[in-house]
C-alpha cells in the first residue's frame, strides 16, 4: 500500500496577527493511507483513511478572553464570568480533538466489459474548516485587551505632537479586570469543548461512451454538513414561555444589581421585567462565537453530455437538479466573519434551532449550462477554403468562437419584518404567496396580502425561506470570438470580441422581501413584493493584444 504524509497549515513557531497585538499559533498534521485494489479485470476498489490532528489554536501572547455562562462568578455568586487565557482559561480557543478519522471508499466497475460503460461510486468523511473557523481573529474574543481613547478637537483636550503622543491613554486592563469585567454589557461565548465539524460526501455515477467522441454521464451526488460553523444565536434570549406575561414583561421592577454595575442599561434603579427573567439577568446579549451548530443536506441529480475536442469542436452540456436544506444562514463554507461574529437568522436559537430548518436561501432547483468552442473550418488544413489564397479566405481563417449559456431557476425568498414585542422579525403567512407564472409581474411578484403581523408576543409562522416563492431565474449567454494574426515569426496580434448577456435579456433582481406592518397588521412597505432593479444589460468589448 502507498503511504503519503501531508503537512498542512503552520508547523513552525511562525505567527499570524489579527490586530497589532493579537496573534495565534496553529498546526495541522494529516496522514493519508490509500490504495487501489484491482479485484477483477472489470472491478477496482479504492480504500483510504485520513487522520487529522489540529493542535488547538492559541493566541501567542494570551491576549484573549472568553465568557463562560455556566461557571459561577466568585465575586457575585451568580452564573457567568469572564475568563482569561493562561490565567483561569486554557491558552487555546478550543480543545484539541482526536476524533478526526475520515474513511474513504470508492469503486469503479466496467459494466459491459467493453470499456465503454462504467459505474462509479464513493463515500467519504472530510473534516474541514477547523483551521479557519476557530483561529480567525475577532475582537469579540479579546474583551479586556483593547481600549479606545476618544479625543474631541472642540473640547478641552490639550494639543499634542503626534511624535510625542497624548498626555494620557486608556489602557486595557487585561486579566486584571477579573471575572466581572463587562458585567452588564454584551459578551460572547466560544465553546471550548466544541465538536469537530465534518462533511459527508457520497456519489454514484453511470457513464457511457457514445459514437463521434461523445460521452454521456448520469450521476447522483450528495453531501451533509454536521456540526458546521455558523448557527450563532443569543444565549441570553428570553424563554418564549414567558411571552404569556404579555405587556407585563415591559413593567419596570427593582434592579437587584444597582450599585454593582457602573454604567449601561443595567446600572439604573429599575430594569424591565423581561430582563430579570433571562438566563443571565446581569448581562445583555450573550452571543455564541464560532458556534459549531449548523447543518445542511444536499441532494442532486446531474446529467452531463460532453463532446471531446476533435475537428475543431468541443461542447459540454451540464444539467443539475438539486435541493439544499439547512437550518441557518451561516454554515460551513461561509466567510470567517459570518462564522465568527454574525448571528444566524434563528427565531429562538437558544431553545429550538430545528424550528428554522428549511430550504436554504442558496437553493437552486434547476441549472443548465451549455458551453462550446468551435474553430471555424476555413483556411489551410481546414475543410473549407483550404487551398484558397483570396481575400475571403484570408479574412475567414483562424477564427475561434466560444459560448457559455446559463439557465437557472431563482432562489427561495426569505420574508422578514414584524413588530410584536418578541424581537423576532418573522411575520405570519396565511397561505402560499406564490402567484401563477402568468400573473407575476415586476410590480407584484408574489401575493403580499397573505402576510400579517403576528399577535403580540407570538412568534411568526413564516418559514425561514418560502419554498415555492422564488426570485426570478437567470438566462445569460456569453459569446466571444478570437483570431491571431501572425505579424512576424515572433510577433502575434490577437483580436478579441466579447459579449456578455449577448441577447440583452432582462434578468430581474429579487423582489423586496421587507414586510413592514401598519396598525391593522397589513404591509405598508411600498417595495414589498416589487422588483425595482435588474442585473446588467448587454456588454460588448473589443480588444487587441500584441505578443512578441
Question: What pLDDT does residue 16 have?
Answer: 30
- Shared-domain flag, residues 501 and 434: yes
Of 338, 363, 388, the domain-final residue: 363
Q: Which of 336, 363, 390 is the last residue of a domain?
A: 363
162 compared with 93, residue with greater pLDDT: 93
Which of 37-41, 227-231, 475-479 is modeled with the greatest confidence? 475-479
Distance CA 76, CA 184 (A): 12
**Alpha helix stretches (DSSP H) within 256-335:** 273-276
Residue 243 lies in a domain: no
pLDDT of 55 above 80: no
What band does 440 get if pLDDT is binned at 50, 70 and 90? very high
Residue with C-alpha cell 513552525?
12
Q: Give yes or no: residues 53 and 159 share one domain.
A: yes
| Percent of the chain residues topping a pLDDT of 70 | 84
Question: Quick check: 494 pLDDT over 70?
Answer: yes
Residue 268 lies in a domain: no
106 and 139, same domain (yes or no): yes
- pLDDT the model gives residue 266: 96
Question: Average pLDDT of 201-208?
Answer: 98
3-state SS string over 315-371?
EEEEEEEEEEEECCCCCCCCCHHHHHCCCCCCCCCCCCHHHHCEECCCCCCEEEEEE
Predicted local confidence at residue 157, as pLDDT = 63
What span, in angstroms and rounded, lies between the C-alpha atoms of 439 and 415? 20
Residues 16 and 42 grouped into a single domain: yes
- Residue 266, all three cell numbers: 443595567
Range of the domain at 500: 370-548
Cell of 537: 444589460
Mean per-residue pLDDT, 129-152: 68
Mean pLDDT of all residues in the chain? 85
Q: Do 349 and 239 form a contact (C-beta atoms < 8 A)?
A: no
pLDDT above 50: residue 13: no
Q: Please give the pLDDT value at position 29.
A: 52
Residue where a domain stops, chosen among 363, 387, 418: 363
Q: Return the pLDDT at 72.
A: 96
CA distance 492 to 319: 38
66 and 185 in a single domain? The answer is yes
pTM over 0.85: no
Is a pLDDT exceeding 60 seen at residue 201? yes
The answer to the question of residue 480 being in a domain is yes
Say what the pLDDT of residue 231 is.
Answer: 83
Highest mean pLDDT among 198-212, 227-241, 323-337: 198-212
428 or 151, which is more confident? 428
520 inside domain: yes
Instruction: Quote the number of domains for the chain.
Output: 2
Q: Determine the average pLDDT of the residues in 184-190.
A: 93
Residue-wise pLDDT for 495-521, tens only, equals 899 999 999 999 999 999 999 999 999
- Residue 439 or 138, more confident: 439
Q: Are both 357 and 402 inside the same structural domain?
A: no
Q: Note whether 282 and 347 are same-domain residues.
A: yes
Is residue 46 domain-shared with residue 126, that is, in the same domain? Answer: yes
pLDDT tens-place string over residues 292-345: 888 999 999 999 999 998 888 999 999 999 999 998 764 333 334 434 445 677
To the nearest whole percent, how much of the chain has pLDDT over 90?
A: 61
Amino acid at each position: 500500500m502507498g503511504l503519503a504524509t501531508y503537512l498542512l497549515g503552520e508547523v513552525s513557531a511562525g505567527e499570524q496577527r489579527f490586530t497589532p497585538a493579537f496573534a495565534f499559533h496553529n498546526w495541522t498534521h494529516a496522514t493519508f493511507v490509500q490504495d487501489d485494489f484491482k479485484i477483477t479485470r472489470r472491478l477496482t476498489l479504492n480504500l483510504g483513511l485520513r487522520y487529522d490532528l489540529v493542535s488547538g489554536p492559541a493566541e501567542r501572547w494570551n491576549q484573549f478572553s472568553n465568557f463562560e455562562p455556566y461557571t459561577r462568578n466568585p465575586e457575585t455568586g451568580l452564573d457567568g464570568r469572564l475568563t482569561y487565557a493562561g490565567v483561569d482559561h486554557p491558552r487555546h480557543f478550543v480543545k484539541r480533538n482526536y476524533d478526526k478519522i475520515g474513511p474513504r471508499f470508492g469503486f469503479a466497475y466496467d459494466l459491459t466489459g467493453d470499456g465503454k460503460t462504467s459505474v462509479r461510486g464513493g463515500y467519504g468523511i472530510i473534516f474541514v474548516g477547523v483551521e479557519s473557523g476557530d483561529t480567525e481573529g475577532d475582537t469579540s474574543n479579546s474583551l479586556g485587551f483593547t481600549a479606545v481613547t476618544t479625543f474631541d478637537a472642540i473640547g478641552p483636550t490639550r494639543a499634542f505632537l503626534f511624535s510625542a503622543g497624548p498626555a494620557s491613554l486608556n489602557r486595557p486592563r487585561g486579566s486584571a479586570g477579573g471575572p466581572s469585567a463587562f458585567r452588564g454589557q454584551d459578551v460572547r461565548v466560544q465553546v471550548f469543548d466544541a465538536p469537530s465539524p465534518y462533511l459527508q460526501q457520497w456519489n454514484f455515477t453511470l457513464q457511457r461512451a457514445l459514437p463521434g467522441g461523445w460521452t454521456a454521464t448520469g450521476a447522483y451526488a450528495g453531501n451533509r454538513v454536521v456540526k458546521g460553523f455558523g448557527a450563532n444565536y443569543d444565549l441570553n434570549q428570553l424563554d418564549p414561555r414567558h411571552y404569556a406575561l404579555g405587556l407585563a414583561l415591559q413593567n419596570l421592577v427593582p434592579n437587584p444589581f444597582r450599585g454593582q454595575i457602573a454604567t449601561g442599561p443595567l446600572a439604573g434603579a429599575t430594569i424591565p421585567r423581561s430582563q430579570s427573567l433571562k438566563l443571565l439577568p446581569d448581562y445583555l446579549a450573550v452571543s455564541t462565537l464560532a458556534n459549531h451548530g449548523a447543518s445542511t443536506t444536499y441532494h442532486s441529480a446531474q446529467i452531463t453530455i460532453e463532446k471531446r475536442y476533435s475537428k475543431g469542436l468541443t461542447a459540454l452540456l451540464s444539467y443539475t437538479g438539486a435541493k439544499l436544506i439547512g437550518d441557518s444562514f451561516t454554515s460551513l463554507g461561509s466567510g470567517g466573519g459570518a462564522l465568527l461574529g454574525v448571528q444566524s437568522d434563528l427565531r429562538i436559537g437558544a431553545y429550538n434551532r430545528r424550528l428554522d430548518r428549511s430550504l436554504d436561501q442558496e437553493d437552486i432547483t434547476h441549472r443548465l449550462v451549455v458551453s462550446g468552442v468551435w474553430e471555424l473550418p476555413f483556411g489551410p488544413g481546414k475543410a473549407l477554403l483550404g487551398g484558397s489564397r483570396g481575400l475571403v479566405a484570408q479574412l475567414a481563417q483562424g477564427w475561434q468562437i466560444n459560448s457559455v449559456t446559463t439557465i437557472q431557476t431563482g432562489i427561495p425568498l426569505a420574508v422578514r419584518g414584524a413588530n410584536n414585542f418578541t424581537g423576532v422579525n418573522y411575520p405570519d403567512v396565511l397561505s402560499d404567496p406564490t402567484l401563477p407564472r402568468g400573473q407575476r409581474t415586476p410590480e407584484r411578484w408574489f401575493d403580499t396580502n397573505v402576510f400579517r403581523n403576528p399577535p403580540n408576543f407570538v412568534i411568526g409562522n413564516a418559514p425561514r425561506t418560502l419554498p415555492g416563492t422564488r426570485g426570478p431565474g437567470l438566462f445569460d449567454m456569453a459569446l466571444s470570438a478570437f483570431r491571431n494574426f501572425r505579424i512576424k515569426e515572433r510577433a502575434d496580434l490577437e483580436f478579441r470580441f466579447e459579449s456578455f448577456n449577448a441577447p440583452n435579456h432582462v434578468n430581474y433582481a429579487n423582489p423586496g422581501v421587507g414586510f413592514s406592518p401598519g396598525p391593522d397588521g397589513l404591509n405598508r412597505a411600498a417595495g414589498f413584493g416589487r422588483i425595482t432593479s435588474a442585473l446588467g444589460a448587454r456588454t460588448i468589448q473589443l480588444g487587441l493584444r500584441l505578443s512578441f
